[in-house]
Copies of this chain bind each other. A is one copy, B any other.
Amino acid sequence: MSLAEQVLKGNIRAAARLMRDIDDARPQAIEELKRLYPHTGNAFIVGITGPPGAGKSTLVDQLTASFRGRGKKVGVVAIDPTSPFTGGAILGDRIRMNRHSCDEGVFIRSLATRGALGGLSRSTSDVALVMDALGMDIVIIETVGVGQDEVDIVKEAHTTCVVMVPGLGDDIQAIKAGILEIGDIFVVNKADREGADRTARELSTMLDMRTAVEDGWNPRVMKTEAQRGTGIEELTEEILSHRAFFQSSGAVTDFLRNRSKRHFIGILRDTLLRKALLFMAESNYLDMIVAEMNDHRVDPYSAVEEVISKIMPDRKNV
């Protein structure tokens, strides 16, 4: 039986192995993903994003428990800050949420960038696809909400919660503005801290000032204390409300079209590059170009044009 078939039967070990194959960029992983694809699209994807120190992991832990309490199977994709040299995710799967570790209805996977087929958002969507095929009803994607990568990841989610926390420092104002547009729900966590009410008020004011509300949904600002579990049920309800709105308003159609387009283009970009690099590897062509660039005998733009004229012979006038 193929890995894909085992995953579709709910085999967790097969899912874990496929995710490792995805991480290791094994060609057979692509074949398995092809087989899974027709059986996906059932999971509801929730994005949790916010600055470091906002308590996202704890919040995700609580949300997982809350969805489990409603009989839902929950997958978690946690994007940890990556160590760019050692290559691993810094917080491993093991130290995350071990209270769910004996629960077959919870599947947790930490992701880092290195080793992925192409960028963090590619591997996140592939891993979410596997969880979907595995039968997870909810897939929570948790990520630090600062860089473009993180913003791209959040686009995978049907519903995105932006988590803030009182008093994080000077440029927090700038970050708020940056992530204001990506949140369907805003959460002020650590609401027992000084300044929580002010942070919540500021967020509400900024949301009120937004020019256009594209889809008719008005994001609410909610307060939680994830450590104690305060406000979690209300947040779960709000997430489910957004889901219902999203589906009844028809906004989901545009969302799915854009997401498919992004997936296709991401895979296209990675595959084109891989084939071009394989072509160049045949003749040490890449090393030659790099040496010429270092001597300033060729610029990278002209070198790229030359390579492309060789591998896309009919397209050179495009």
Chain A residues proximal to chain B, CB less than 8 Å: 30, 33-34, 37-38, 40-41, 51-55, 57, 80-86, 90-91, 113, 119-120, 144, 146-151, 165, 168-172, 174-175, 177-178, 180-182, 256-257, 260-261, 263-265, 267-269, 271-273, 275-279, 286, 289-291, 293-294, 296, 299-305, 307-308, 311-315, 318
Q: Is the CB of B178 within 8 A of A271?
A: no
Q: Tell me whether A169 and B178 are in contact (CB under 8 A).
A: no
A181-B86 in contact given A257-B290, A304-B264 (Cβ < 8 Å) = yes
Across the interface, do A34 and B182 meet the contact criterion of CB distance under 8 Å?
no
Add 7 more A-B contacts to A84-B148, A261-B290, A311-B314 (CB < 8 A): A81-B146, A83-B180, A85-B181, A264-B289, A267-B304, A271-B308, A279-B318
9 contacts between A and B (CB under 8 A): A91-B174, A147-B150, A168-B168, A257-B290, A257-B291, A261-B286, A261-B290, A268-B273, A279-B318
Q: Could you say which of B54, B80, B264, B302 contacts A290, with CB atoms under 8 Å apart?
A: B264
State the CA gap A308–B30 with chains docked (Å): 15
B148 touches A120 (CB 8 A): yes
Asked if A269 contacts B272 (CB within 8 A), the reply is yes
Given the known inter-chain contacts A37-B296, A276-B272, A308-B271, please indicate yes or no for A168 contacting B53, CB distance below 8 A. yes
Q: Is the CB of B261 within 8 A of A268?
A: no
Partner of A174, one of B90, B119, B277, B300: B90
State how many angstroms separate the Cβ of A6 from the closest Cβ of chain B.
Answer: 18
Residues of B within 8 A of A307 (CB): 268
B-chain residues with CB within 8 Å of residue A263 when the two chains form the complex: 293, 300
Residues on B with beta carbons closer than 8 Å to the beta carbon of A86: 181
Q: Are A301 and B168 in contact (CB under 8 A)?
A: no
Contact A279–B315 (Cβ < 8 Å): yes
Task: For A172, list chain B residues within 8 Å (CB).
Answer: 52-53
Looking at A168, A261, A275, A304, the one whose CB has the most chain B CB atoms below 10 A away is A304
Residue of A85, A177, A256, A272 with most chain B CB atoms under a 10 A cut-off:
A272
Tell me the complex Cα distance, A290–B263, Å.
9
